[in-house]
Amino acid sequence: MKTKISRQHIYLLVTTLFLFIFVLVFSFTVLIPKGQEYRVKRIELKKTRQEFREYRDFHDEMQDKLQEMQQKHRYIITAFKSAFNPERFEKQNKKHFIALNIKEINRIKSETIFAVYEVNTTSKLSSPQGFYDFLDTLNKSDWIIGVNFPIDFKRDGDLIKSSFTMQVYSNNNESNATASASVDK
């Protein structure tokens, strides 16, 4: 029995066998290793996207908190940015005292960036209520001021003399520029 296979079928069979072998070799040498690498990279991408989402959510949450705090404390931020003027301070608070003297205490630059002032007052009262009114006025002023203890009260007849130091907190642009210049070096 002789089978008759035409030349076209033989060519087709050889071409099909060649293509099949080529596809197998290509699959095992290129596609399968790249597929494994693809799976690893896809897992890494999912982890990176999850981390990004967490960081973005954290950023959004902190941004909302920052805006809320800035809105809530806008008066404090404004007071921190305003420069302290001793003459204006004296004019505003002289009504509580007979005499009000303010002078800046020399300070070491590395010790603090805030200004420290010594305040001497004289009031004609039988109690220190005028001083407490003055402290209430400080809380409502345009500056952030901390009164340092001890506060020295001395009675001199009908007068009460007081002496204390206060620290003025403000954004000192000169010290910030110096600090940022030293960081840049």
Q: Same domain for 12 and 41?
A: yes
Render pLDDT for 53-107 as a digit per residue (tens, 0 to 9). 999 999 999 999 999 998 998 877 777 777 777 778 777 777 767 777 777 666 5
Q: Output 127 or 138, whichever has higher pLDDT.
A: 138
Number of domains in the chain: 2
Question: Hey, is 19 helix, strand or coil?
Answer: helix
Whether 41 and 123 share a structural domain: no
Q: Are residues 171 and 89 in the same domain?
A: yes
* pTM for the structure as a whole: 0.46
Q: How far apart are the first and last CA of the chain?
A: 97
Fill in the amino acid letter for 178: T
Say if residues 170 and 144 touch (Cβ distance below 8 Å): yes
Phi, psi dihedral angles at 176 (to 5 degrees): -65, -40
Amino acid at 25: V
What domain range includes position 14?
A: 1-72
